[in-house]
Structure 1
Amino acid sequence: GMTAEAHEGEIALFDCRKPHCYWCPDKVDFYWFHFNGAGSKQYTEYLTERFGLVHEKQPMLSLKDQFRTVVHSAQYGMSTQFASMNEHQISIAVHSILGGLASQTVRTTVTSELLAPALAYIHGHFADDISLDDLAGMCGISKSHFIRSFKRYVGCTPHEYLLQYRLRQSKRLLLSSDLTVEQIAEDCGFNSASHFARAFRQETDISPTAFRAISF
């Protein structure tokens, strides 16, 4: 029951397991791919419910380059013996696209002006202990004002944002490095491997080890 129109530089995202159709009224070139894997259903439902079917291109996302990575890696992987390596590259690119789309709310002017210092600090120091008092101080506002503003403009609490950012970094390391789960937990700011495993399983329904073994 939903309809949408996508223009140049935009991305349309929908659950292809549900009845659907799409068409172009004029000649057009575009990139497309189908994807599946851990968290894909939840990502799609979240993004569709929150932002609709069509999403604007974000400069930080390099959307066209990310799509090229997915398409070209898939084509290369199908024609060579290095398919498993390319599946990991594809997974990283897909996660980058979806993660960027999920962060759309941080693009507002109010957010960039008010919360940018805190967001930048989280991105650069996610492995460290980070306190609400320190983040609020960086933004020059009280802790209660900071929490309310963060929830309003980012769409989640500071703690939830930090946890999700740490988990995204952990997924990247699981797929792109040979680090142990224990080392990844430490590098991503979790106080123990068991804490990391619990948070990861709660987010994805599988363990970090199982996630690493999946062929995306």
Structure 2
Amino acid sequence: MSTVSFSIFPNDNFIDLCLYQYGKEQCDPGHSFGPATRNHYLFHYVLSGTGTLMADNSKGITQTYSVKSGQGFLIFPGQITTYFADQEHPWEYIWLEFDGLKVKEALQTTFFSLEHPVYRANSKELREILKNEMLYIVEHCTASKFHLIGHLYLFLDALTQSTHSNELTSSSKMSDYYIKEAIHYIEQNFQNDISIEEIAGVCGINRSYFGKIFRKSIGKSPQEFLMNYRMIKATELLSLTSLSISEISQAVGYDNPLHFSRAFKNVYGISPRTWRKENK
């Protein structure tokens, strides 16, 4: 029988790097999962045994990979995959599902792509650090969310360092610079009455081009990102302070509390007051 430990992260209000679910499984011979897609990045590390990954590349063509102990594989958001354990030596693996603004940027420094999903570490020492950080997260599911996010950063550091690609980091795009500038400006000014034109102006580009490169890089329009960022900050204030709804509305850039409540409900499906009662 398969033995599985599985946990869901209790809070997703982390923007730069967030954990969604994680676990460990000793699979039965031939045990399979998929075909399926994920909304976030999903990394498996094989502790023992072997298995097979079938994953679509950037052209939608399914490729087959053999993955063994000491290796792993990264599934990208929206990528169709199926994976199954070997009949003779079924694998035992640990996994983390994660995402965030820093993830795509971090992975651009590695060899990972839809064409290259298999993890082969360039350093045994870094591979051990990666494995130990994953095991730590899986085995400490009752630790505080900040504690686990700290170890998720250490995992991501080991993942990127052990798969570092000099070839991919030799050039930087201006569009990446613009996105970083825009996000930094939003982080510093979300509480003010800022517009998308203003953010584009700070980057020195027109709104149309800014909107296009922002959506391509982040997966959301600048307006959606700004609203979601404000709502995440609002949930922090709702859960950690006793400020009134009106005061929180002002603190996250909404002069009108009704507009704030409407935007909050669009994102979370409930009013700020109800959210506070359920999460205080």
The residue aligned with 1:202 is: 266
Q: Which residue of 2 aligns with 1:138?
A: 202
* Structure having the higher Rg: 2
Partner of residue 71, structure 1: 141
Instruction: Flag the structure with more relative contact order, 1 or 2, with Cα contacts below 8 A and sequence separation at least 6.
Output: 1
Cα gap change, 1:172/1:150 in structure 2, threshold over 3 Å: closer, same or farther?
same
Q: Does 1:112 align with 2:176?
A: yes
Aligned to 2:44: 7
* C-alpha contact (below 8 Å) 1:175/1:212 kept by paired residues: yes
Which of residues 181, 189, 203 is equivalent to 1:125? 189
* 1:169 CA drift (Å): 0.7
Is the contact between residue 151 and residue 158 of structure 1 (CA under 8 Å) also seen in structure 2?
Answer: yes
TM-score norm. by structure 2 comes to 0.44
Unaligned runs of 5+ in 1: 13-20, 32-52, 74-88, 98-107
Task: Give the conservation status (yes or no) of the 8 Å contact 2:190–2:226.
Answer: yes
Q: Quickly say closer, same or farther: Cα 1:23–1:185, change in 2 above 3 A.
A: farther
Contact 1:200-1:206 at 8 Å conserved across structures: yes
- Note the 1:82-121 alignment, pairs <5 A: 111-121=175-185
Determine the C-alpha separation between the residues in 2 that align with 1:117 and 1:139. 6
Task: Please tell me whether residue 178 in structure 1 is matched to residue 242 in structure 2.
Answer: yes
User: Is the CA contact (8 Å cut-off) linking 1:10 and 1:55 kept in structure 2?
Assistant: no
The answer (yes or no) to whether the contact 2:43–2:74 under 8 Å persists in 1 is yes
* Aligned-partner residue type, residue 176 of structure 2: S
1:176/1:132 CA distance change after superposition, 3 Å: same
Give the Å deviation of 1:131.
2.3
Could you say which structure has the higher helix fraction?
Answer: 1
Q: Secondary structure at the match of 2:35?
A: coil
Alpha-carbon separation, structure 2, partners of 1:215 and 1:174: 8
The separation in 2 between residues aligned to 1:11 and 1:169, in whole angstroms, is 30
- With over 3 angstroms needed to count, the CA separation of the structure-2 counterparts of 1:139 and 1:28, relative to structure 1, is same
The ranges of structure 1 where at least 4 consecutive aligned residues each deviate by more than 4 angstroms after the TM superposition are: 8-12, 21-31, 53-57, 108-111
What is the rounded CA distance, in whole Å, between the counterparts of 2:255 and 2:181 in structure 1? 25
Q: One-letter code of the match for 2:184?
A: A
Per-residue CA deviation, residues 138-191 of structure 1 (Å, 9 max, x unaligned), is 222122211222222222221111111100111111112221111111111112
- C-alpha separation in 2, matches of 1:151 and 1:206: 26
Alignment: residue pair count: 160
> How many percent identity over aligned positions?
26
**Which residue of 2 is the match for residue 100 of structure 1?**
none
In the alignment, residue 43 of structure 2 is paired with which amino acid? A
Distance in 2 of aligned mates of 1:118 and 1:164? 15
Distance 1:167 1:215 in 2: 14
CA distance in 2, matches of 1:119, 1:55: 16
